[in-house]
Amino acid sequence: MPTHNRILYWFRNDLRLHDNAGFAAACEDATQVLPVYVFDPRQFRELAAIGVKKTGIFRTNFLIECVADLRASLRARGADLIIRVGEPSQILADLAETIDAQAIYASKEVTSEETDVESALSKRLKPLNIDIEFFWTSTLYHVRDLPFGVAKLPDIFTQFRNRVEKYAPVRELVPTPDALQLPDDVDSGDMPTLSTFGFDNALKSDVRAAVPFKGGETAAVARLERYLWEKDLIRTYKDTRNGMLGEDYSSKFSAWLAHGCLSPRFVFHEVKRYEQERIANDSTYWLIFELIWRDFFRFVALKFGTRLFKPSGIKHDLQKHWRRDFDLFQRWAEGETGIPFIDANMRELNHTGFMSNRGRQNVGSFLVKDLGIDWTWGAAYFESLLVDYDPCSNWGNWNYVAGVGNDPREDRYFNILTQASRYDERGDYVKHWLPELANVPADKIQVVSTLTRQQQTDYDVALGEDYPMPIVNPAKWMKK
């Protein structure tokens, strides 16, 4: 039986109806539920230090698609999604008061910007006598099911994985609500466009993109269905996951997971069903393994708070000092370093909003270890550009790369030439994103700076004109 007449449900990074504990609870606890999404303009401000928007065009476009899909799903169930643009705590408090809501329900976030908004909203609701309740919706393992308190979270991933796999259950899925009733006389609001957030042009898709990301729960579930059941791609995931080209070498679930269009528990239970009905092997396990990594970074963020975002990292290492050379950083960001493997990855990111996990580790290592640039600039650049940006995974990974996180290996370093030779042996990936190097043979493509003048003529590339000279000497990788 409903305990409230009206509840306002605030959608955040949980843009789905399936396995959504918070929304399902609101539907159960109230006679009427008002679903709301608020676009916060502060998330689209300019980051003066590195000259990009906090949320760039790719993620903004994906987010708009996610919200539009959620609205369509709610309308199909007789409800609607109220959409607003502005400061969330003010808008939500005013709306809750206007419709005489007894409570606001929402998913719980863990990083500082999101929790600051939660605190601001809570303060506004107190004098209005409106309750607020948060629900854990974002991880495979529920925070209350961990076999340790968050303060006792193991610093090493393997220790975390071993304990949760042994002692923590993965909960069953929360049923999806069916028919919904919406309060009358509430203006649903218009869907914003890219121009709402200061983007001049419509998003142009690049035909070279690995996957045409389409935002929303509908596309997320379709991708899962295709990857597991239609094409059987999970069967070989562990062998192919480090690929660089194409749509199918990895699951590409990350963008939908980041926006909450796809529940990690739903992925888990589908993989388990696949193992029962088709095959269980190292590859099927490895997809779950990656979901556990994602959980780990979220719990690390919960444990360490704002330290995740500071140059000293969660280690609070004040001995490390970083360069803030903007010109050098820009060469990296624009894919103009003269190191083909690095430049190809950065250009893919700039043109599509996506980069493989292998690419991210290499460009991160190069920025931090080879150029000595402040890693927080790299993390902020990724935050702006990546369609699948998730604050916990992004900043957690950059802590790792910079050596200020909880990596058991001290001073982890990537030999870029070794990596390029292993993961792009024939140079197909480099040529895909650096067409100016199309005629350079495979054995020269990763060390193009060593070409003689005659070779440059033979391969139709002029170093320093068609393609830049390297900003670091690649000979150091050859020696190693």
Give the annotated binding-site residues for FAD: 237, 250-254, 290-297, 388-390
Q: Is the dihedral of CA 402, 427, 224, 16 positive or negative?
A: positive
User: H/E element holding 82?
Assistant: strand 82-85
Q: Look up residue 206 and give its two tokens.
A: 């690049």
User: CB-based contacts of 465: which residues, under 8 Å, 6+ apart?
Assistant: none
Within 13 Å of residue 327, how many CA atoms lie on the same side as its CB? 1
Give yes or no for a contact between 219 and 69, defined as CB atoms under 8 angstroms apart. Answer: yes
Query: What single DSSP character describes residue 5?
Result: E
* Residue stretches of the annotated binding site: 237, 250-254, 290-297, 388-390
Give yes or no for a contact between 33 and 27, defined as CB atoms under 8 angstroms apart. Answer: yes
User: H/E element holding 10?
Assistant: strand 4-11
Query: What single DSSP character describes residue 251?
Result: -
Q: How many other C-beta atoms are found inside a 10 Å radius of the C-beta of residue 5?
A: 13
User: CB-based contacts of 310: which residues, under 8 Å, 6+ apart?
Assistant: 316, 376
Q: What are phi and psi of 117, to 5 degrees?
A: -65, -40
d(CA 56, CA 64): 12
d(CA 263, CA 220): 10
User: H/E element holding 33?
Assistant: strand 30-39
Q: How many other C-beta atoms are found inside a 10 Å radius of the C-beta of residue 303?
A: 18
Relative to beta strand 52-53, strand 82-85 is unpaired
